[in-house]
């Protein structure tokens, strides 16, 4: 019997590319984690508490790498997280970023994100749940498992609900295979709190509880600017002011969903712009015409007509 030379060592060498690094900047240069953090800073508006926590986590992972290089013990931290916040506050967007950041820092091996909801984890009949949950877990190994609206997993009103089974399998894997995947639970604040109260095991296995605050109007306006820019549109004269006014009226109304509402409002404005241009059958349009959202496109919104009727 003989050994196969160089095979088993290949794994260790591959994961330890930064073994010579002695300073933070060396680790950052080798892992490009700095770029991701800068991108996060530039692309995401607001969200100060979330960003600062992500920076903390990134710092810990970098320092751990330095400790490891000096032969000190670096205990892999538990990075399971829960994101709570109102709709449209950027939970999914941050989760996507998180997968990338953790990948660059070398904490997860592949850095993909598997986004699931209750339907993907919980089965319809006895014996259906375990294979379903395990399949999702297997797919998310080496990456991040993002469970949206996680509180639906647990239904206290039905004691024969299979959600509990899914939770137990999740807990087991979260505990035993911390190196293989990161689980992120997301949902609205109050319902997630109720979920954690009834599943203390889940709450204690999640090290990072991040709360996503609502955006102030100024941040929403900057988000709108970014969204338009990404789609090659821009506000025409007076349109930005009109949109600011629109936001002021829209925010106190029910079902306001932060950035998502902004996106929907902009999509509707684009529709109105399109039909405004469509009416001009014989005009030759310049690029400027096609990219400008004019003030009337915003003013035509239902939000303004309701306000006018009330006054």
Partner 1 sequence: MMTNPVGRITQGQFSYLPELTDAEITLQIEYGLNKGYAWSVEYTDDPHPRNTYWEMFGIPMFDLKDAAGVMMELQSCRKTFPRHYIRLMAFDSTRGVETIVMSFIVNRPPNEPGFGLRRQEAQGRTIRYTVHSYATDRPETERGGR
Binding footprint of partner 1 on the chain (CB under 8 A): 1-4, 7-8, 10-11, 109-110, 112, 131, 134-135, 137-139, 141-143, 173, 177, 180-181
Closest CB to partner 1 among residues 140, 258? 140
Nearest to 178 by CA among 106, 82, 107, 118: 107
d(CA 42, CA 78): 27
Q: First and final CA of the chain: distance in angstroms? A: 91
Closest CB to partner 1 among residues 146, 196? 146
CB 180 to partner 1: min, Å: 4
CB 109 to partner 1: min, Å: 6
Nearest to 153 by CA among 139, 140, 171: 171
Tokens 């926590």: give the residue: 53
CB 182 to partner 1: min, Å: 12
Other Cβ atoms within 10 Å of 228 Cβ, number: 20
Task: Give the 3-state secondary structure of residue 114.
Answer: strand
Closest CB to partner 1 among residues 177, 253? 177
CB 138 to partner 1: min, Å: 3
Structure tokens belonging to residue 237: 């004269």
Closest CB to partner 1 among residues 177, 198? 177
Closest CB to partner 1 among residues 136, 247? 136
Nearest to 69 by CA among 19, 9, 17: 19
Q: Is 13 exposed, middle or buried (0-12, 13-18, 19+ CB in 10 A)?
A: exposed
CB 13 to partner 1: min, Å: 12
Phi and psi at residue 17, in whole multiples of 5°? -65, -20
Closest CB to partner 1 among residues 1, 308? 1
CB 208 to partner 1: min, Å: 22
Most distant CA pair in the chain: distance in Å? 91
């Amino acid at each position: 019997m003989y050994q196969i030379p160089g095979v088993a060592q290949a794994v260790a060498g591959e994961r330890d590319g930064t073994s010579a690094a002695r300073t933070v900047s060396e680790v950052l240069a080798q892992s490009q984690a700095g770029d991701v953090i800068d991108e996060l800073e530039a692309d995401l508006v607001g969200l100060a508490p979330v960003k600062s926590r992500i920076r903390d986590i990134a710092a810990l992972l970098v320092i751990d790498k330095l400790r490891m290089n000096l032969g000190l013990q670096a205990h892999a931290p538990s990075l399971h997280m829960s994101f709570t916040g109102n709709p449209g506050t950027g939970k999914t967007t941050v989760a996507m970023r998180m997968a990338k950041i953790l990948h660059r820092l070398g904490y997860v091996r592949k850095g993909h994100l598997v986004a699931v909801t209750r339907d993907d984890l919980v089965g319809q009949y006895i014996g259906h749940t375990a294979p379903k949950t395990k399949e999702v877990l297997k797919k998310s190994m080496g990456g991040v498992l993002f469970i949206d609206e996680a509180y639906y997993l647990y239904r206290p009103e039905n004691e024969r609900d299979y959600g509990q089974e899914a939770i137990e399998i999740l807990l087991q894997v979260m505990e035993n295979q911390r190196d293989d995947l990161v689980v992120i639970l997301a949902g609205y604040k109050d319902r997630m709190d109720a979920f954690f109260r009834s599943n203390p095991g889940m709450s204690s296995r999640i090290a990072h509880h991040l709360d996503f605050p609502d955006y102030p109007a100024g941040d929403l306006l900057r988000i709108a600017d970014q969204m338009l820019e990404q789609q090659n549109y821009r506000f025409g004269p007076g349109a930005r002011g009109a949109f600011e006014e629109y936001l002021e009226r829209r925010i106190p109304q029910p079902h306001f969903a932060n950035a998502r509402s902004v996106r929907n409002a902009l999509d509707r404005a684009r529709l109105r712009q399109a039909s405004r241009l469509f009416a001009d059958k014989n005009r030759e349009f310049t690029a400027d015409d096609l990219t400008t959202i004019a003030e009337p496109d915003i003013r035509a919104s239902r939000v303004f007509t309701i306000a006018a009727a009330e006054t």
